[in-house]
Amino acid sequence: MDTAEKVDWAALNAHAAGRPARRLVSKAITAAGGSRRPGTVLDLGAGAGADSLQFARQGWTVHAYDSDDTLAARLVENERMTGSVQFHHGDLATVPTFPSAQIVYSTYTLGLLGPAVLPGVWRKLVDALPRGGVMAVDFFGTNDSWAERPDVATLPLEQIDEMFRGFQVIDRSIRDEDGRFLADKKHWHVITTLARKLH
């Protein structure tokens, strides 16, 4: 695969529609104080929506962002939720400001913004979090096979730590292993960080 633009995201998301929510969802909810007093979540790169829908089932109000509209067709499931999902179809790079939220959540997406766009979007996401808000996000590390691509941001751990200045890191996991992406072999180096904003 040469560029992210060549991926058929609609086909990928349709295939992923039945997958369960990631465990990171429940970790983020716990870190944000649990679902006794649910608030707002920003889900960036929501894809088929498994994680957005799980947040909503726990009572959270979700602003789900994606350039593919697969999730929009699934929102009839809102009727079975105590929370809600508002879908935003478009490019994250063009969002002027994000709604205030207690959780910012993103898996396998922020790095695809590329090294030029990521810093600006990151600042807006940090600004959207109040003190005590939770960031639960993936970044691609430098061992990832996409590190050779100029359109993908792959970051050393030291740079990720710098981005989380002003946060308390609660949990971190690193996936550094061979795998697949669609039909292609791929080495994944994904650094997942769960952190709470200190001020």
Q: How far is CA 70 from its chain centroid?
A: 16
* pLDDT value, residue 3: 43
Q: For every residue of the chain, which 3-state class applies, written as one string?
A: CCCHHHCCHHHHHHHHCCCCCCHHHHHHHHHCCCCCCCCEEEEECCCCCHHHHHHHHCCCEEEEEECCCHHHHHHHHHHHCCCEEEEEECCHHHCCCCCCCCEEEECCCHHHHCCCCHHHHHHHHHHHCCCCCEEEEEEEECCCHHHHCCCCCEECHHHHHHHCCCEEEEEEEEEEEEEEECCEEEEEEEEEEEEEECC
- The pLDDT of residue 99 is 97
> Is it the case that residue 35 has pLDDT exceeding 90?
no
Q: What is the pTM of this model?
A: 0.87
At 48, the amino acid letter reads: A
Query: Where is pLDDT greater, at 154 or 184?
Result: 154
Q: Write phi, then psi, for 91 (nearest 5 degrees).
A: -95, 125
- pLDDT reading at 37 higher than 90: no
Q: Between 59 and 49, whose confidence is greater? A: 59
